[in-house]
Chain A
Amino acid sequence: MNPHHHSSYLNPNSLKSRFTKNFLRSLIKINKQTPFPCRPTEMFQRCHKVKTAADKSLACAVGSRRVWSRAMLCKIRNRALRRGPQKPPSVRRIIINNRTMKKGFNCLKEKMNDDQEAGIDQTSKLRKLVPGGEAMDLCNLLDEAAHYIKCLNTQVQEIHDAERIESLGKD
């Protein structure tokens, strides 16, 4: 992991650098929008915004290459849309699965085999965790999960590093 670690700092196009760029940009935006909140509710909202920003920047960094990143972007956009006009959740569900519903019955048949392959609880749990995992067969699901884990790792590391640097700076 270490050689990659170094190279990713230097490589301007790596996932890490893309994510960091997006994340910092969105953080600056958030800071500009709201002054530092004092009340807990405001703080909570702000935290939520930060988390959303983190997720969104990760998904953008990955781009449309992966099913889960597409699903995540859809979800975020729909959520943003929903904040404005009040759309019912059912509509959101349709929008998210629009792309993946093309598989039709093949998916169902494979999902039944998937449940035989591994435990039924586990596959359903995994589907819920990985964004966009509802309509994938086990093979692709595992693939997406692996990539998702990798990206989550990057995300966590980046946020933590940025936070550490910031705290050092404050001192």
Chain B
Amino acid sequence: MHPCSREMQGINYVLNPSSQIPLQDLQNQQHQQIQNSPFDPSSSSNDDFLDQMLSSLPSSSWADLKSPWDLNPPTSLNIPINNSSAKPREDETPPSMPENVGFHNFDESVILAAKLRQHQISGGPSPAVAAAAKAMLQQQLMMATRGGGLPQNDVVDGSSFKSPTRGDGSVQALYNNGFGAGSMHGTGQASNQSQQHFHHPQEGSLQAQNFSTPGAGAGMAMNQPQASGSTGGAPAQPRQRVRARRGQATDPHSIAERLRRERIAERMKALQELVPNGNKTDKASMLDEIIDYVKFLQLQVKVLSMSRLGGAAAVAPLVADMSSEGRGGAGGGGDCIQATANGGSLPRTNSNSTQTPSSNDTLTVTEHQVARLMEEDMGSAMQYLQGKGLCLMPISLATAISTTTSHSRNPVLNSNHHSLLHSNGEGPSSPSMSVLTVQSATMGNGRGDASVKDAASVSKP
């Protein structure tokens, strides 16, 4: 009859370690149980998971032993929320445990073995504990097949539960139980420290080997932990033929993690090439650059589309906002945007530029107006200027532009420029403020030039 209950499947699996299907079923059941318990984000790492599992194991397995035929998943298997809460529980249970410890039934030991196997596989445990758990598992099975009842261990070393790596402690306890007051007991007691933990299961396994013919995978389990245990780095579980490189784990979780990280690194490199100033080595700053660049591009599209058909008036609110937000500090982005805004609005105002020689007076008036507006609100000043197709820029920049545009096709510009400079000296605005209004009629010179010349930034004292 095909075994249907979990325990039966456990038996089936342990006897046939090569069959994969029951294992997956076990895993699924185990995972279902695990997911019933609330998700504990603090213990997301694999080691913590195993610790939790193994720490909860003694209490749960004892409960199992009491009622082996309980088909409902044992509620005590629910992972304790934090390790600290589990500890006192464990300390209480040991005194009562020895009575229940005896593996009276073959089924019970196999249940435990199956559970450990599941924990080992699903938890992705630290190599030492995995090897130890597996070894112990095999021993249990062998002992059970050998003589039915295992000798009881009266003295469950309470301190073993308090060992620093609690997973080791619980395995130790079970290990001790398995061999009772035998020769291993003394060594088991002595090996409470985690460092020596590696060797004892191996020794135990050696002895266990002497006792009886092991299960199918036991031989391999025994050999491999001996060989690799001392390195402390590379586990070699019989179910995976691949040997891991030193310092790297073979369990699927960390492999997936590694792959994921590599992929992310690839993508970041690709982004680095796209984004200007992408020479940052730090991931966080690189992300900042990316974010800024995307914002800049989106803003550029917005402004371009507005300035295309909108004319100056519609652009003014946008530009005013930008100037109030990021004056001087917006870097190339802000400047270029204002540039293109002005560039876009110029076709409107180019027709007006022919009137400039006669409108020197109006320019002065404009200046006064702008100065007045600036005292109250930058935004409205900008708006006013934009309505006239003008922009603000520091004098130094304006002089730089005028020198480069000496060949511009609009000679009116220079005269205006000089007259404005002249009039600015007497301007009503405070002398510390470097403000110059220049008619940026350099649109016709093409895009590349426009982006340089029309850069507008207001510098405030």
Contacts and interface: CB of A to CB of B under 8 A. Distances in A.
Interface of A: 36, 40, 43-44, 46-47, 50-51, 53-55, 112-113, 117-119, 122-123, 125-126, 129-130, 138-139, 142-143, 145-146, 148-150, 152-153, 155-156, 159-164, 166-168, 170-171
Contacts of A168: 444
A126 B291 contact: yes
Given A55-B301, A122-B291, A155-B301, A160 B447 contact: yes
A117 B308 CA distance: 41
Contacts of A130: 294
Nearest to A155: B301
A53 B313 CA distance: 21
Contacts of B270: 142, 146
B267 A146 contact: yes
A139 B264 contact: yes
A-B pairs with lowest CB-CB distance, top 9: A142-B267, A47-B306, A51-B305, A152-B297, A122-B287, A43-B314, A50-B305, A47-B310, A159-B304
29 contacts: A36-B309, A43-B309, A44-B314, A47-B308, A47-B310, A50-B306, A51-B302, A51-B306, A112-B41, A113-B260, A117-B283, A118-B284, A119-B287, A123-B287, A126-B291, A126-B294, A138-B264, A139-B263, A142-B264, A146-B267, A146-B271, A159-B305, A160-B304, A161-B447, A163-B308, A163-B344, A166-B308, A167-B347, A168-B444
Given A40-B313, A43-B310, A142 B294 contact: no
Interface string B250-292: 0000000000110110011011001100000001100110110
A99 B86 CA distance: 43
B350 interface: yes
Interface residues of B, number: 45
A112 B222 CA distance: 39
Contacts of A162: 308
B290 to A, nearest CB: 6
Contacts of A159: 301, 304-305, 308
A163 to B, nearest CB: 5
Given A142-B268, A149-B275, A156 B344 contact: no
Contact of B294 (A55, A149, A160, A164): A149
A156 B271 contact: no
B305 A47 contact: yes
Nearest to B291: A125
A117 B310 contact: no
Nearest to B39: A109
Contacts, number: 123
B264 A145 contact: no
B293 interface: yes
Contacts of B302: 51
Contacts of A126: 287, 290-291, 294
B291 A117 contact: no
B24 interface: no
A103 to B, nearest CB: 15
Contacts of B284: 118-119, 122
A51 B301 contact: yes
Contacts of B293: 149
B350 A171 contact: yes
Contacts of A142: 264, 267-268, 270-271
A150 B261 contact: no
A171 B444 contact: yes
A125 to B, nearest CB: 5
Given A117-B261, A122-B284, A145 B294 contact: yes
Contacts of B314: 40, 43-44, 47
Given A139-B264, A149-B275, A122 B288 contact: yes
B19 to A, nearest CB: 29
A164 B306 contact: no
B31 interface: no
Nearest to B257: A113
